[in-house]
Amino acid sequence: MELLFLVLLSLHILKTEAVVEHHWCYQSQKCAQPHCEAPEEWYLIDISCKGNKQSPINIVTKNVIYDKNLKPLNFEGYDVKGSSKWNIENNGHTVKVELSTSPKIGGGGLGRKYKATEFHLHWGVPGVQRYLPGSEHSIDGEKEAMELHIVHIREDVSNITEAKETADGVAVLAFFVKVEEENKNYATLINELENIKYKGQTTQMDPLPLSSLLPPEEDLGRYYRYEGSLTTPDCYEGVTWTIFEKPIELSISQISQFSTLHFDGRNSTHMIENFRPFQLLNERKVYWSSASMLLPAAKVLMLVLVLTYILSSLSQ
């Protein structure tokens, strides 16, 4: 009987160690949790994390391809304030806000409509005199303080699990967050962070029009587009990424509030640098929206007008 007990106990310990070893984490957690799998080891959790279409990426502007089909997106219901509260959760990796309504996006070369289900953020760490960058994507190697991701799934599916069963199941809108002046539209969300300091804690907030958290719609015509993945395991590849040039602005005090959260329970590591390093682009292309530049015909017309003005000035 004692031998059987020892065998069962050994199996239990081995099983427990296996679970611990296969918990994914960010690099900033490794000191406190040496057995967790950091980003370069995520493929041990899910082999998809070693795929050829992974996110995030560094966007090299000299290599982007102008695409005339990338018109401004159509935002449906983004300016609507729902009646049900938003659920906010510290899920041990980020602040996740589940939406009570389903605003939609379409157009902009997407090919179908997608409905928003949640948004979350990635951020860096407070420095001595400034906030060290924590965005996941970068442009020409430059990162911002934070990055907001609004996750959408195809409008013809019920949830993200079902969306992942298709090759184009998810569309994410990404916004850089820059250190500027205080943004009062974020006050309600930031005030609730005090109630979700530790992993597993949840709270609610009064809903807002989703558009109130974003730059004005007239500034959203300039964006980059590429095919990638989710930036956390299971690293599902089938995500259409739209990364906007115009950043959201928050004060350094507001941004710093996110770093007061913890990855786990009390006395655990503060939730800082919760971003995945950028991945290889491989054979993929990054496209630039048509709103980012004048159409060829418009450029020719502008050049003709300028030359006409110069010639008329010289003849006087």
- CB neighbours of residue 5 within 10 Å: 9
Rounded CA separation 275/293 (Å): 31
Q: In sequence order, which residues have a C-beta less than 8 Å from that of residue 232 and are 6 or more positions away?
A: 24, 93, 276
Rg of the chain taking only CA atoms, in angstroms: 23
Closest residue by Cα to residue 26 from 83, 93, 77: 93
| Helix, strand, coil % over all residues of the chain, rounded to 5 | 30, 30, 45
Distance set, CA 178 to CA 34, 120, 204, 266, 294 (Å): 32, 16, 26, 30, 27
Rounded CA separation 49/54 (Å): 7
Closest residue by Cα to residue 268 from 192, 165, 197, 180: 197
Which 3 state secondary structure label does DSSP give 234?
coil
The one-letter amino acid at 258:
F
Name the residues annotated as catalytic. Answer: 93
Closest residue by Cα to residue 231 from 179, 178, 170: 170
